[in-house]
Amino acid sequence: MFFVQRRLAVVAEVLSCVTIPNMVRPSTLLLLLLSATPLTGQSVRGRLSGTEPGSTAGAIVILLDSTGVEVARALSSPIGSYILTARSNGRYSLKVLRVGFAAWVSAPMSLESGHPVDLSLVLPDEPLVLAELNVESGNACRNTAEEGGAAATLLEEIGKAVGSAELALKDRELRFQVRKFARRTDLQNAVQQSDSAFTQINTWPVHSLSPLRLRDHGFIQTREQVDPELVEASGPQGLVWFGPDAATLFSAPFIGTHCFRARAVPNDTTRVRLVFTVIRGRRTPDIEGELWLDRRTLALEKLEFHYVNVPSGLPRQGPGGRMEFARLPNGIWLVSHWSLRAPIQRYRNNLPDGIAGWSEEGGDIIEIKGAQGAVVYSGHPQ
């Protein structure tokens, strides 16, 4: 059996990173100015607080210039503290993003070299409320920007969650203990081979190909299309099935080729789905699926996806994948479990001749330790 070290695919490993959409709407922050303390450059720092315990941990704090362009961002600490530095003197504002709450933007302030600012923010805990959703409401496929409403809100909230994970890796020294697994089954799903291994890594364990490459070449590629350094192949034949990562889901290439629609969950009033489908006319092998969120808190729970526009001769039902998400007490979000399932092609005389079974690869985060060795997350393999 084989494990892929750097990419999420079958023939490659399922794994993920992040970008977030700039879709939040500004508002006004309640501000409390405190006395200045020694800082360097054009700096601002302070502490976020709210009425709910822990509601400001892991918030994304963004520094905007006078034109609204982002110049810096940071992740608030478990107690809500933050620090940001501008590149030059000028007028700036702070934007704060928190999962489940509307975005807030401060009144403008002046930052000057040698005159740092201490600025603590009291954030009103006014949770976002989704409008009523139908299980299915029409067949029209519209992109997120055009549809707006609940779909845009859900995509924003997911972006906040995965964006905080990216910042956590940049700002903090985290060490991951990961269990990787791989198994092969026959066509009746009887296990023929199964392997697992534990490893320690210092980087986010879930990555995929670049969004542009996935858009142009698809989520199912031949070995000849894939850089051999990215895939540990078990043989010269077959296809490579790639899964998405967060950078993919929130990239312009993915959003431009998919439609997003908010949907209720049948017989479940506690959760909501963000369904994504490929745009009409797209023929490249791609993915469709659902992101599940808690309806009250808008917390991200899981991603399930399947493949479309599958090459001829391969099953349409069965190939797909799953990711599960968790939020740490310090506010950081993570992918706690991931898996990807794809058919194993059978070859005769170097030509494809049906399906021999199924291959599944994935992993679980068993433990995360911080810079001082303290355990910040402890999970259980599935």
DSSP per position, 263-297: EEETTEEEEEEEEEEEPTT--S-EEEEEEEEETTT
**By the 8 A CB rule, do 80 and 51 touch?**
no
321 and 366 together in one domain: yes
304 and 213 together in one domain: yes
Say if 153 falls within a structural domain: yes
Q: What pLDDT score does 47 carry?
A: 92
**By the 8 A CB rule, do 363 and 180 touch?**
yes
pLDDT less than 70: residues of the chain: 1-41, 131-148, 169-173, 202-205, 228-237, 350-352, 380-382
Supply the range of the domain harboring residue 234. Answer: 9-19+131-378
**Which residues fall within 8 angstroms of residue 228, CB to CB, at 6 or more apart?**
none
249 and 216 together in one domain: yes
Say if 24 falls within a structural domain: no
Cα–Cα distance between 378 and 161 in angstroms, integer? 19
138 and 40 together in one domain: no
Say if 2 falls within a structural domain: no
Say if 3 falls within a structural domain: no
Cα–Cα distance between 89 and 192 in angstroms, integer? 64
**Which residues fall within 8 angstroms of residue 117, CB to CB, at 6 or more apart?**
33, 36, 43, 44, 45, 109, 111
301 and 333 together in one domain: yes
> Residue 167 — left, alpha, or beta (φ > 0 → left; ψ -120 to 50 → alpha)?
alpha
Q: How many domains is the chain partitioned into structurally?
A: 2
Say if 201 falls within a structural domain: yes
87 and 160 together in one domain: no
**By the 8 A CB rule, do 3 and 361 touch?**
yes
Tokens of 114: 């040698």
307 and 161 together in one domain: yes
158 and 50 together in one domain: no
- End residue of a domain, out of 122, 144, 159: 122
- End residue of a domain, out of 68, 91, 122: 122
Say if 328 falls within a structural domain: yes
Q: Which 3-state string (H, E, C) describes 317-362?
A: CCCEEEEEEEECCCCCEEEEEEEEEEEEEEEECCEEEEEEEEEEEE
64 and 137 together in one domain: no
**By the 8 A CB rule, do 1 and 233 touch?**
no
Coil, helix or strand for 309?
coil
332 and 224 together in one domain: yes
- End residue of a domain, out of 72, 93, 122: 122
Q: What pLDDT score does 44 carry?
A: 92
Q: What is the DSSP letter of 165?
A: H
CATH number for the domain spanning 51: value is 2.60.40.10
110 and 155 together in one domain: no
159 and 103 together in one domain: no
